[in-house]
Amino acid sequence: MANGHAQRKPDSCCFVLFGVTGDLTHRLVMPSLYNLAAANLLPERFCVVGVVRRGMSNETLRESLMEGVRKFATRAVDDAIANRLLECVTAIEADASEPGSFDRMKERLEKLEAARDTGGNRLFYLATPPNAFAPIARQLGRVGLVHQDENGPWRKLIVEKPFGTDLASAKALNDELLSILNEHQIYRIDHYLGKETVQNILVLRFANGMFEPIWNRHHIDHVQIAVDEKLGVGHRGSFYDQTGALRDMVPNHLFQLLSLIAMEPPAKFDAHTVRSEKAEVLAAIQVPNEDEALRNSVRGQYGQGRIGDEIVPAYDATEDVRPDSTTETYAALKLTIDNWRWAGVPFYLRTGKALGLKRTEVAIKFRQAPFAMFECTPVDGLAENYLVIGIEPTEGITLQFNSKVPGPTINISGVEMKFRYKDYFNAEPSTGYETLLYDCMISDNILFQRADGVEAGWRAVEPFLKAWKQAGGKGLEKYPAGSEGPSGAAELLRRDGRSWRKL
Ligand SMILES: NC(=O)c1ccc[n+]([C@@H]2O[C@H](COP(=O)([O-])OP(=O)(O)OC[C@H]3O[C@@H](n4cnc5c(N)ncnc54)[C@H](OP(=O)(O)O)[C@@H]3O)[C@@H](O)[C@H]2O)c1
């Protein structure tokens, strides 16, 4: 997210992609590189190394990547541009379980770099399952591929999510990576931060004079962050059953949204200052004891149901899911932030799979008008004042307020003022990843997570993970696929005299 400067081409470099045969590469990484190529934002001299664990020809790899570009690109594919990009791709074999293969990879990579004249700048992308992150980084460190001299070419490492499965494992991974690379070389990716509306939260708050004065406990009643998905677990049963909704979504995506909404204004728009403020507010989330964690959380698992025309099988009847699984596919939490701005303002977070509607939004609920001046409408009959930041399916911002219904008497009705990105800006649709890949290539890490931010996130969810593990299946609510989720989620707010925002 370059700060106001015209977009420039990144330095020449070699992009080394582990997990090149995987879903993420095909669906998001290669289509994003294509979008960057189409926008003329790839380096002048560039090569892509696809690291494969078993021998594969360049042709086979290129063909399969081309399929991904055609299928998942967010704009019409220009064959000439796509072919130019694919000509940059070379398959190289390496497997961290066979260390010698990394020595051979180094030799081949250095030859390729010399032939392509990329100047030795290297970007390694770990698009692999998380258990391969540390072993691959260790091998890259051992053979010296990520070593960076002060004035020498840059060496960077992008690490996918999930970053750890709890606080201890996230710390261990941070320690391991930081024993091999410096913090400024590590780019912990969370693709939510590539989304325009998410970045726009910073602009909405800090480029407008009118929101910040009311952005606090005196004016805000509570905040809702909802990430509802229609899709069930599908073929990801074995990964999901070890993970669950809380680990999969909350410490990363939902906390990215929470930290942008709740952080203090940074003094400067640079990576160090912005990331420090984000980590600070995550560290201020109150850590509940086990009883409080259970009282302030709801978890659910979907049963069989219907979404549109499709019958969705129950989660525990899904391929690779244990039939007696107690893994949650829905999580709702009530959190409080211990600082002057937010004391007493609950943050309600929820995320779930196989729900009736797909929706990602942050809804900021303002306090009610304090006094009933209009005879026809008591204070509690007024529509609620929300500022809603919509991320999916529609990117935009909506303000809900009360208005007079036309006519000779004062009647009041709730109305909406809507801003939709696509009405104002003629931007090409993107995957979100291109911003992040481009930023990494130009060494802008403002949209990537720092070690302390990741650990603060895990610290805040740890009590819920522990309490749920302790409780086993007790308290896990079933909800039918295609519904709004477990009824306990509505109850979590109802007992505070509140409710989730309705569409
Ligand atoms: N897919 C998404 O939409 C998505 C979204 C956000 C984050 N992510 C994250 O991205 C990463 C990849 O996800 P994916 O969906 O692409 O998974 P995937 O489809 O299962 O692909 C995994 C890739 O990693 C390779 N791989 C597996 N084990 C490896 C090992 N021990 N060493 C080196 N390479 C190994 C596989 O290569 P082989 O062909 O050799 O098995 C394959 O290329 C995961 O960390 C995931 O959490 C994915």
Q: What is the pLDDT of residues 296-325, one digit of tens each?
A: 999 999 999 999 899 999 999 999 999 999
N residues, the chain = 503
How much is the pTM? Answer: 0.94
Mutate which of 16, 18, 53 for ligand 1 pocket (most atoms within 8 A of beta carbon): 53
Q: Last residue of some domain: 160, 184, 211? A: 160
Check whether residue 206 and residue 155 sit in a common domain: no
Check whether residue 156 and residue 198 sit in a common domain: no
CATH number at residue 419: 3.30.360.10
pLDDT at residue 376, rounded to an integer? 76
Check whether residue 204 and residue 353 sit in a common domain: yes
Q: Last residue of some domain: 160, 175, 206? A: 160
- Report residue 2's pLDDT band, with 50, 70 and 90 as the boundaries: low
**Protein residue closest via CA to atom 44 of ligand 1:** 129
In a domain? residue 33:
yes
Ligand 1 pocket, 127 CB below 6 A?
yes
How far is Cα 30 from Cα 65, in angstroms, rounded to an integer? 7
Match 């325009």 to its residue by tokens: 196
In a domain? residue 5:
no
**Protein residue closest via CA to atom 31 of ligand 1:** 132
**Residue-wise burial string across 183-192, b where 16 or more C-beta atoms lie within 10 A, e elsewhere:** eebbbbbbbb
pLDDT digits (tens, 9 = 90+) for 76-118: 999 999 999 999 999 999 999 999 999 999 999 999 999 999 9
In a domain? residue 171:
no
Look at the chain and report how many structural domains it folds into: 2
In a domain? residue 143:
yes
**Protein residue closest via CA to atom 2 of ligand 1:** 24
Check whether residue 200 and residue 80 sit in a common domain: no
Which ligand 1 atom sits nearest the alpha carbon of residue 25? 16
pLDDT, greater one: 331 or 74: 331
- pLDDT > 70: percent of the chain: 98
Coil vs helix vs strand at 342: coil
pLDDT digits (tens, 9 = 90+) for 155-193: 999 999 999 999 999 999 999 999 999 999 999 999 889
Ligand 1 pocket, 200 CB below 6 A?
no
pLDDT at residue 3, rounded to an integer? 63
Task: Give residues with Cβ within 8 angstroms of 116, minimum separation 6.
Answer: 14, 45, 46, 47, 88
Average pLDDT over the chain, rounded to an integer:
94
Check whether residue 211 and residue 148 sit in a common domain: no
Ligand 1 pocket, 248 CB below 6 A?
no
How far is Cα 145 from Cα 138, in angstroms, rounded to an integer? 10
- Report residue 373's pLDDT band, with 50, 70 and 90 as the boundaries: confident
Neighbouring CB atoms inside 10 A of 434's CB total 24
- Report residue 5's pLDDT band, with 50, 70 and 90 as the boundaries: low
Nearest to 448, CA basis, from 252, 317, 207, 266? 252
Ranking 180-194, 273-287, 370-384 by mean pLDDT, the lowest is: 370-384
Which ligand 1 atom sits nearest the alpha carbon of residue 28? 3
Q: What is the DSSP string of 249-285?
A: HIIIIIHHHHHHHHSPPPSSSSHHHHHHHHHHHHHTB
Ligand 1 pocket, 22 CB below 6 A?
yes
Check whether residue 123 and residue 218 sit in a common domain: no
For strands 310-312 and 305-307, give the pairing. antiparallel
For residue 395, what are its two tokens? 């990117």
Q: How many CA atoms within 13 Å lie on the side-chain side of 215?
A: 19
Check whether residue 381 and residue 476 sit in a common domain: yes
Task: Give residues with Cβ within 8 angstroms of 138, minimum separation 6.
Answer: 96, 176, 180
Distance 129 CA to ligand 1 centre (A): 5
Distance 224 CA to ligand 1 centre (A): 32
Give the burial class of 341: count Cβ atoms within 10 A of its Cβ; 0-12 exposed, 13-18 middle, 19 or more buried: middle
- Report residue 75's pLDDT band, with 50, 70 and 90 as the boundaries: confident
Backbone angles phi, psi at 29, to 5 degrees: -70, -50
226 contacts 363 by C-beta, under 8 angstroms = yes
CATH number at residue 28: 3.40.50.720
Match 């664990």 to its residue by tokens: 53
Distance 127 CA to ligand 1 centre (A): 5
pLDDT digits (tens, 9 = 90+) for 205-257: 999 999 999 999 999 999 999 999 999 998 889 999 999 999 999 999 999 99
In a domain? residue 6:
no
Ligand 1 pocket, 30 CB below 6 A?
no
Ligand 1 pocket, 160 CB below 6 A?
yes
Question: What range defines the domain where residue 358 resides?
Answer: 193-494
pLDDT at residue 244, rounded to an integer? 97
- Report residue 1's pLDDT band, with 50, 70 and 90 as the boundaries: low
Ligand 1 pocket, 243 CB below 6 A?
no
Give the burial class of 135: count Cβ atoms within 10 A of its Cβ; 0-12 exposed, 13-18 middle, 19 or more buried: middle
Whether residue 417 has pLDDT greater than 80 = yes
Task: Give residues with Cβ within 8 angstroms of 436, minimum separation 6.
Answer: 187, 189, 191, 193, 194, 447, 448
Check whether residue 126 and residue 211 sit in a common domain: no
Whether residue 327 has pLDDT greater than 80 = yes
In a domain? residue 8:
no
Q: Last residue of some domain: 138, 160, 182? A: 160
Whether residue 362 has pLDDT greater than 70 = yes
In a domain? residue 177:
no
CA distances from 177 to 17, 137, 156, 451, 455 (A): 17, 7, 12, 10, 14
